[in-house]
A and B are shown apart, each in its own frame.
Chain A
C-alpha cells in the first residue's frame, strides 16, 4: 500500500520541484499571513503514506491554517505544499476529489436527512462509497432517516466523519475531530481513526488533546505560534524531553523525620499533610528502590505508589512554556 500510493503520485509541478515525491504530503517553508497576523511562520514537514500525523498545539498555534492550506481551502502566502502531488492552490479540484475533510465545525441544512446528506455529498465526487455501508460503519444506520437538526453532537460528528469518507479518500484531514465531545464519543471516534489507520489511509489530525496525539499518531509535530517546535514519534518526543519521571508515594502516617539524598533524585517535596512524597528523578527505578528501602527502615506503612513518565504534555509545556488546554 505504501509503495502503491507513492507510485501513484503524479509528477510535481515546477514550483514544488524541491519537495520530495515519496511523501503523500510535503510542506516546505510554508507561511500564511492574515492582514497583519503571521499565522504560519515557515514550517516544513512530510507525511508518508499510511501514516497518522498529528499537529498538536494550543488554539491559535496555526494548526487549522496549515491543514486548510493543504485542503485547498485557503491560499498559502509563501513556501511550497503538495498533497498527493497536487498543488493545493492551483489544482484544487483534482485535490479535493481525492481527499476527505472533517472540518473543525461542520454544519448542514437543518432539514436534510442523514442518508440524503451522504448521497448528496457522494454525488460531488468522481468515485463514492455507498451510503448504506458508511451508515452502518459509523453506527448511523438507525438514524439514516433523521433530520440533521435532531442529531446529537456525537451523531453529528460521526456524520461529519462519514462525509469525509464518502469519496473513499487516500488522505484524510481531521481538524480537531473530538473537541467538545463527551469522553464516550471521543473514544468511539478514536477507534474510527484507528480503523482508518488500519486501512492504510494517510491521516492528518489536528488536536489540542495530548492523549489523543499520544494514542493515535505515528508522528506528532508540536506547533506553537506558527512554528513547529518539535517533531517525532510520541516516544521520541518524550525521550528528547529533559523532564524527569515523577514518583509519588502516599504513606499511612505523616513523615516527620528528615530524609536522606536518594540516588538520582532531583527534587523532593512533601505535601502539607506530610503523607504524600513527590520525587522527580532521571532514573526512577533506582530512586524508587532507595525510597522504598528507607521507608521500610522507618517502619512506614505505604498506601499508594505512582510512577509517571514524562508525557507529551510535559514536553509541550517544556518547549512552549505554556499549558495546552484552553
Chain B
C-alpha cells in the first residue's frame, strides 16, 4: 500500500511540475472549448453549450489517454527510468494504477472548470445528473488510458509509438463527433456508420445523451459496459505486455493487442450495423423527449441553415 501511495504522490507532483501536462490537460482543450462555443453561438443558445461540452470533454479524454498515458510510458522506458524501477521489488501494477489515479486527479478538475465556465459564462444549467456524468467521464478516462498503455507496451520505440498513437488519435477526434458534429443530418449517413466503429464516439454520445436528456449512467449501461470491458482488457494486456527496458523488443504481431482493446467498440459497431440502427439522432429524439435546451440548440441550427 505504501508503494501505491508513494507513487501516486510523486506522480502528482511530477505532473504538476511539467508545463506540458498543464498545457495538454487544460490550455489546449480550453482553446477548443472557446472556439466551439463561438462556432455554435453558445452565448445566445445554452443548448449549444451541451453540444460543445460533448465535444471538448472527449477531446480531452482521448488526448490524455493516448498522449498522456501512452507517450509518457514510452518516454520513461526509452530514457531508462523504468529500468531503475526494474531492479526494485515492484511490479508493473503499482506503476499502472498510480498513473491512472494521478490522471484522474489531474484531469477531473478540467471537467469542473469547463462545466463552471459553461454555467457561469454561457448560462448553461448545471447538469441534474452530474454524478453520473463525472463517473462516466472517469470511466472513459480509464478506458482510453488503458488503450494508451497498450499502445505504449506494443511500440518498440518512440517513432512506432507516435505512429500508432496518431493512427488512433485522428480517427478518434475527427470521426467520433468530438470535433465535427457528424451526427447531424447534414452529414452523410456513411460517416455516422463509420463513427459507430470509433471508440471515442461512445464518449461523445454518452456525455451528450446524459446532458441533453438528464439520463443517469444506468440508462446508458450499454456504453458503460463497453467502456468497462475496454478498460479491463486494456489494463490486463497493459500489465501483461509491460516492458521495463527499451532493449526488450516485442514481436510486431503484438501490436494486434491494440485491436483487442478496440474490439468491444468494433463488436458494438457491427451489432448496430447489422441491426440497421444508425447513430443516435438527437435532433429527432430530443424534439419529443429532450429538455428545452436541446430543442433550442437544434432548432437554432436548422434556422441558421446548417
The chain A residues found within 8 Å of chain B, CB to CB, are 71-73, 92-94, 96-97, 101, 103, 105-109, 111-112, 116, 119-121, 123-126, 163
Contact = CB atoms under 8 A, between A and B. Distances in A.
- Interface SS of chain A: helix, strand, loop or mixed? loop
B89 A96 contact: yes
B71 to A, nearest CB: 14
Contacts of A119: 6
B18 interface: yes
Interface string B89-101: 1110000000000
A92 B244 CA distance: 15
Nearest to A34: B247
Given A111-B17, A112-B13, 9 more contacts: A96-B87, A96-B89, A103-B87, A106-B80, A107-B80, A109-B76, A124-B3, A124-B85, A124-B88
Contact of B84 (A106, A116, A126): A106
A126 B90 CA distance: 11
B14 A105 contact: no
A125 B87 contact: no
B117 interface: no
Given A111-B18, A116-B13, A123-B6, A103 B83 contact: yes
Given A96-B89, A125-B89, A120 B84 contact: no
Interface in B11-39: 13-14, 17-18
A144 to B, nearest CB: 15
Given A103-B83, A111-B18, A123-B2, A116 B10 contact: yes
A73 B86 contact: yes
Contacts of B83: 103, 107
Nearest to B75: A109
B17 A107 contact: no
B7 interface: yes
A173 to B, nearest CB: 8
Contacts of A93: 89, 91
A123 B17 CA distance: 22
Interface residues of B, number: 23
21 contacts: A73-B87, A92-B89, A93-B89, A96-B88, A97-B89, A101-B87, A103-B83, A103-B84, A108-B81, A108-B84, A111-B18, A116-B10, A120-B6, A120-B10, A121-B88, A123-B3, A123-B5, A124-B89, A124-B90, A125-B88, A125-B89
Contacts of B3: 123-124
Contacts of A109: 14, 76, 81
B60 to A, nearest CB: 23
Interface string B50-86: 0000000000000000000000000010011101111
A106 B79 CA distance: 9
B90 A107 contact: no
A108 B81 CA distance: 5
A148 B13 CA distance: 14
A163 B84 contact: yes
Most buried by B among A103, A105, A116, A120: A120
Contacts of B89: 92-94, 96-97, 124-126
Contacts of A116: 10, 13
B7 A120 contact: yes
A252 B9 CA distance: 71
B14 A112 contact: yes
Interface string B163-194: 00000000000000000000000000000000
A46 B7 CA distance: 37
Contacts of B84: 103, 106-108, 163
Contacts of B18: 111
A126 B80 CA distance: 24
A68 B3 CA distance: 24
B251 to A, nearest CB: 14
Contacts of A101: 87
Closest 6 CB pairs of A and B: A123-B6, A111-B17, A101-B87, A124-B88, A107-B80, A96-B89
B22 to A, nearest CB: 13
